[in-house]
Structure formats: C-alpha cells, structure tokens
Chains A and B, each alone.
Chain A
C-alpha cells in the first residue's frame, strides 16, 4: 500500500504529501506498478508543459521516466494525474515523439497524432493494467494555441484520458475504450474541445499536415508527414 498523506484545506483544495514517487514506506522499497511513465524524445518538454499548467511540482526520473509530484492539487484536473501516479493497479505509459503518424495495435495504419494517440490498455498477468498513450508535444503546443488553451492542459487531458480508459475499460482498445475515456477526461479537465479540421498540404514536399478550428480560415502547420518508430 502506497502511503500518501492527504488533507483537505479550508479553501477546498486537497493537499497531497508524497514522500517519494513509488516509495512504499511500509515495505521500505520502491514499487514498480503505480506510475505515470513518460518516455521518448520530447519527454522533458512534456513535463515542463505540465508544470507550467499545474499547481503541483512534477518531476521526472531521467532513467526510468517515472513521474513524481508534490504540492497542492487544485481542481479535479490536477488531482487525476496524482491519482494515476499513486494508483498501484494502473501504470500509464506516455510515449512522446516528433513524428506525425503512428500505427495502432488495432491495425489502423498511419494515424495522425492530433496531438495524442489512444492505444487503450492491457491487463498484465498479475492483474495490474498498463495504459499506453502516444503524444507529439510540439503538436500539442500548436493545437493548444488553436483552441486557446495551455499546452500543459492539453497534455494533461491526454494523460487523464489514458488513465481513465484503463479505469473504465481495462484491457480495452481504441474501439472499445476511447469514447468513454475521452468524455470522462473532458468532464474533469475543464478545457475547450472544439471541432477541428485537418489538412494535408500536398503543394509542399514533403507533404505538411495542418490544423485549424472549425469556423476559422487560417491553417497552422503541424509538421511534415513522418512516421513514429515503435
């Protein structure tokens, strides 16, 4: 059992005191199955963006990719990543990439990263659940500017969606788990989710992917058509 000190303040905020992420005080050892793990070439950028939009102080172990958090959580959107960090049954693995496309385990090929790729979760032999999410952090910045939110809020939505997908449909894939997870995350994160439009500009070589909010006229570049290596 992970030991977390929790206190509700008079102003309604909830204060968590975490001695050290993954540290089990009763067993005096580190647990491996209660984490958010951020990997890949844009991992540190993702953590910086999360910190810029959070009342928590989030740090990442450079070797393992595991996150830890200290401070006061303000609002549901901040509490959820803390729950994910401390959930001993669910691990969220966020793989960051600068690529624009990925292949899903459900067989769909070359899916655009706008900015995330929801892969659902798998149930491990010991009964724990591992959720997988892909993320292009630079795309998160562009899309956040289009919808008028902070990049950290958009990234937190991707984390919350991955975690809630594992909570609500453990072992589910995109087809069975995405809609429920997205709606549940949107309910707590409080950010706008406007309808978006996607363009493939073939007048340039290589082809450039672009995004804009429905009802606007100006496309914003995401990047050239490159594929994520897995």
Chain B
C-alpha cells in the first residue's frame, strides 16, 4: 500500500514537472511590438517581471472580431507560454532557433541566445486571460 502511494506521488510530481516545462505561466510586461519585420506575424518583446528575463513572443496576425483585452506596450500580463524551437509556424522562412543570429535587412531579429516563445492565449494582438475554474 505504502509503495503504491509513493509510486503515485512520484508519477504525479514527475508529470507535473513535465507539464510545467512545456507550459509556463509568466508575468510578462510588453516592451515593444514589431509588426513590420514579418508580413504574417508580430514579434512581441517581453520582460518577465519576476526573473527579469527578456523574451520574444511570436504571434500570427489574424483578423479578430472580438477582443476581451488588447496587449499594450508598457502593460504587464499573465500569459501562458510554450517554448519554441523554430519559427516555421509564424514566419515565411522556418529558422531553427538557437543556431545562428537571424537578421532581416541587416537588422537583428533573433539573436542566437534569444528565448523565443509562443502562447496559446495570444491571437493577433488580442489577449485572452486564462480560464478560471
């Protein structure tokens, strides 16, 4: 019985850790929104207010008919983020992120060390707050 409980606790804690690695909730402040570099995507420059870590969030430009909140430069939001290893879903050229510095017209877009994320809550520039159970 005790062994079973320990086993279940181990499985629960491990699966929770895995989930947290995939899906993190960050308190992020919007520093800038780049709508020019890519035709189909926004690059949103963010800073985590807890860790000070800077990151870039990629978001597809889509026509939104209803927005609950709009992301605004200078405001901070609680956003679920997922680690991203390539830009394939968001930009015309599918860079493998973290391999080399990426420039467009001689302007640095993604540094090799950039932490680039996507979010399942950002749709265009509309921000949907997480569901409350």
Residues of A whose CB lies within 8 Å of any CB of B are: 101, 104, 107-112, 114, 174-175, 195-203, 214, 219, 225
Which listed residue, B94, B100, B104, touches A195 by the CB 8 Å rule?
B100
A195, B100: Cα distance in complex, Å:
6
A contact residues around B34 at 8 Å (CB): none
A197 touches B101 (CB 8 A): yes
B100 touches A110 (CB 8 A): no
A contact residues around B85 at 8 Å (CB): 175
A201, B93: Cα distance in complex, Å:
13
A contact residues around B102 at 8 Å (CB): 197-198
B contact residues around A198 at 8 Å (CB): 95, 100-103
Chain B nearest Cβ from A149, distance in angstroms: 17
Q: List 19 A-B contacts (CB under 8 A).
A: A108-B94, A109-B88, A109-B94, A110-B94, A111-B94, A111-B95, A111-B96, A114-B100, A196-B100, A196-B101, A197-B100, A197-B103, A198-B100, A199-B104, A200-B104, A203-B105, A214-B101, A219-B106, A225-B93
A112 touches B88 (CB 8 A): no
> Given A175-B85, A195-B112, do A110 and B93 touch, yes or no (CB 8 Å)?
yes
Which listed residue, B86, B100, B103, B112, touches A108 by the CB 8 Å rule?
B86
Residue B22 CB within 8 A of the other chain: no
B interface, by DSSP: helix, strand, loop or mixed?
Answer: loop
A149, B128: Cα distance in complex, Å:
51
A-B contact sample (6 more), CB < 8 A, given A174-B96, A196-B100, A199-B103: A108-B86, A109-B94, A111-B93, A111-B95, A199-B104, A225-B93
A107, B100: Cα distance in complex, Å:
20
A175, B88: Cα distance in complex, Å:
14
Residue B114 CB within 8 A of the other chain: no
Which listed residue, A104, A195, A201, touches B101 by the CB 8 Å rule?
A195
A contact residues around B92 at 8 Å (CB): 110
Q: Please, which residue of chain B has its CB at the minimum distance from the CB of A210?
A: B103
Chain A nearest Cβ from B89, distance in angstroms: 9
A contact residues around B88 at 8 Å (CB): 107-111
Q: Which of B73-128 contact A (CB under 8 A)?
A: 85-86, 88, 92-96, 100-106, 112
